[in-house]
Structure 1
Amino acid sequence: MRFLIVFASLFAVSAALNCYICNSLNQPECVHNYEKFNKICPVKSFGGMKSVKPLGCRVSRQYVKEETSIVRECAYTGEDIERKSNKGSLGVSRVYSQCSENLCNSAESSTHFLTAAVFIAIFKLFA
Structure 2
Amino acid sequence: MKAVFVSVIFFLGLASISSAMSSASFSVGYLCYQCISTSDNQEACSESDLEKLKPFIKVCAPLTEGSYKGSKAKGCRKIIQTVESKKSIIRECAYSGEVVDGQKKTGNWGINMYYYQCENAVILYFSL
Normalising by structure 1, report the TM-score.
Answer: 0.70
Shift of 1:40: 0.3
Shift of 1:5: 1.6
Larger radius of gyration: 2
- Tell me if structure 1 keeps the 8 A contact 2:103–2:115: yes
Identity %: 33
Shift of 1:36: 1.2
Partner residue of 1:29 out of 21, 40, 44: 44
Partner of residue 116, structure 2: 97
Aligned partner letter, 1:25:
T
SS in 1 for 2:70: strand
- Tell me if structure 1 keeps the 8 A contact 2:35–2:90: yes
User: Superposition RMSD on alpha carbons, in Å?
Assistant: 1.9
In structure 1, list runs of 5 or more residues that go unmatched: 104-127
In structure 2, list runs of 5 or more residues that go unmatched: 1-18, 123-128
Rounded Cα–Cα distance in structure 2 between residues aligned with 1:67 and 1:39 = 26
User: Which structure is higher in RCO with an 8 Å CA cutoff and minimum separation 6?
Assistant: 2
Partner of residue 5, structure 1: 23
- Tell me if structure 2 keeps the 8 A contact 1:22–1:34: no
Normalising by structure 2, report the TM-score.
Answer: 0.69
SS in 1 for 2:54: helix
Shift of 1:39: 0.3
Partner residue of 2:30 out of 10, 13, 17: 17
Shift of 1:68: 0.5
Aligned length, in residue pairs: 98
| Pair 79,36 (structure 1): closer, same or farther in 2 beyond 3 Å | same
Note if 1:79 corresponds to 2:94: no
SS in 2 for 1:54: coil
Higher-helix-fraction structure: 1
Partner residue of 1:52 out of 62, 71, 76: 71
Which runs of structure 1 show a deviation greater than 6 angstroms over 4 or more consecutive aligned residues?
none
Aligned partner letter, 1:24:
S
Shift of 1:4: 3.0
Aligned partner letter, 1:102:
A
- Tell me if structure 1 keeps the 8 A contact 2:76–2:118: yes
